[in-house]
């Protein structure tokens, strides 16, 4: 992401601040959300406005008022029910399918930006050849290159014990890290083009628990970068992230075709959700909870969280790479 792109984002964010505040502060007591007109929706869509405040006109259950796909089938996140998880064909080698990054030790260069919903790392697309991390061996997409593009964190409101978006047999974790990748082919050479294609995006979900010791790559990213971008619109640039170091060592994951968990809820995403959680330390968790929104000093993650509720509409065929078909 270049300086120009960052400036464009900042300008856009500045414009949507008043809308977001009116959205978040739409009432002081719970009530039925007011109707949203076509013009208001068009503006919300243009500036990608949505909320996790349950009293807001654009609370998660209301997103589909402006973003139709959010009410469609194959939405994410889901509760992975183990008794319905299917086996995976393992290919010629008859070994489980593992995903891996080319240049394991290389770091992606990018920026952290507090966008009012999370503090997200985005890569500088122009630097793919020099710093980019490319994900390989995605189930059903063997041979395809998926370029690492974004990383962000999800937690629940008020320090919730189940702030992860996905669940396993109803069990949530303290939070979840998401890493987004776009498909790169001869024709698809940018994030925008790659993300429009069928199977154009791969999202990796990694659960985390909270422990005393700060020692993971997630801790390093939060303590080194997120801490300095805790105020709304703040950017930490440059930043360097290595998604290889975040993947749980046992490589066990579930995979299914789902959607973005934020509007516009596009359904061209291959999800890879790891079974084994990683950890972040209490200090890191407190930094996530203290992230501030457009309202001065308002800790939006502590108050509202940023975990979309479980979606159950439509079927999602979940497979596990550690369950081999005989």
Interface contacts to Zn ion, rule CB under 5 A: 178
Nearest distance in Å: CB 312, Zn ion: 19
Q: Which of 291, 286, 268, 310 has its CA nearest to residue 69?
A: 268
- Of 40 and 256, nearer to Zn ion (C-beta) is 256
Q: How far is CA 128 from the centre of its chain?
A: 20
Greatest C-alpha distance within the chain: 60
Nearest distance in Å: CB 52, Zn ion: 12
List 180's β-bridge partners, or say none: 150, 203
Residue in the shown chain whose Cβ atom is closest to Zn ion: 178
Nearest distance in Å: CB 142, Zn ion: 25
**Alpha-helical runs (H) found in the chain:** 3-24, 38-46, 128-131, 191-196, 217-224, 282-289, 300-304
Nearest distance in Å: CB 77, Zn ion: 9
> In b/e form, how buried is each residue of 227-257, taking b as 16+ CB within 10 angstroms?
bbbbebbbbbbebebbbbbbbeeebebbbbb
Nearest distance in Å: CB 118, Zn ion: 7
- Of 166 and 178, nearer to Zn ion (C-beta) is 178
Nearest distance in Å: CB 91, Zn ion: 29
- Of 178 and 236, nearer to Zn ion (C-beta) is 178
- Of 236 and 260, nearer to Zn ion (C-beta) is 260
- Of 52 and 232, nearer to Zn ion (C-beta) is 52
Q: Cα torsion for 164, 170, 171, 175, to the nearest 10°? A: 0
76 contacts 261 by C-beta, under 8 angstroms: yes
Distances in whole angstroms, Cα of residue 86 to Cα of each of 18, 30, 141, 194, 319: 47, 41, 18, 28, 4
- Of 121 and 225, nearer to Zn ion (C-beta) is 121
Nearest distance in Å: CB 305, Zn ion: 12
The 3-class secondary structure across 172-221, one letter per residue, is CCCEEEEEEEEEECCCCCCHHHHHHCCCCEEEEEEEEEEECCCCCHHHHH
- Of 134 and 180, nearer to Zn ion (C-beta) is 180
């Amino acid at each position: 992401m270049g300086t120009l792109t960052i400036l464009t984002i900042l300008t856009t964010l500045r414009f949507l601040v008043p809308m977001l505040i009116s959205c978040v502060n739409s009432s002081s007591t719970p009530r039925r959300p007011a109707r949203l007109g076509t013009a208001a929706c068009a503006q919300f869509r243009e500036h990608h406005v949505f909320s996790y405040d349950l009293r807001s006109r654009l609370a998660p259950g209301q997103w589909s008022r402006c973003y139709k796909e959010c009410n469609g089938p194959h939405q994410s996140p889901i509760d992975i029910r183990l008794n319905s998880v299917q086996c995976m064909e393992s290919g010629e080698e008859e070994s489980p399918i593992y995903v891996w990054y080319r240049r394991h030790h290389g770091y992606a260069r990018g920026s952290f930006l507090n966008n009012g919903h999370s503090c997200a790392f985005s890569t500088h697309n122009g630097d793919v050849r020099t710093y980019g991390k490319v994900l390989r061996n995605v189930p059903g997409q063997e041979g395809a290159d998926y370029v690492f593009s974004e990383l962000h964190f999800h937690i629940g409101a008020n320090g919730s014990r189940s702030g992860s978006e996905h669940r396993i047999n109803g069990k949530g974790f303290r939070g979840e890290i998401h890493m987004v990748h776009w498909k790169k082919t001869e024709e698809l050479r940018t994030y925008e083009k790659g993300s429009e294609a069928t199977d154009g995006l791969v999202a990796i979900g990694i659960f985390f628990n909270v422990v005393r010791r700060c020692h993971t790559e997630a801790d390093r990213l939060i303590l080194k970068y997120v801490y300095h971008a805790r105020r709304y619109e703040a950017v930490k640039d440059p930043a360097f992230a290595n998604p290889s170091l975040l993947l749980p060592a046992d490589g066990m994951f579930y995979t299914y075709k789902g959607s973005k968990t934020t509007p516009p809820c596009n359904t061209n995403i291959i999800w890879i959700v790891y079974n084994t959680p990683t950890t972040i330390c209490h200090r890191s968790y407190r930094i996530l909870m203290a992230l501030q929104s457009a309202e001065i000093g308002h800790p939006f993650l502590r108050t509202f969280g940023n975990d979309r509720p479980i979606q159950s509409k439509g079927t999602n065929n979940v497979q596990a790479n550690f369950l081999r078909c005989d």
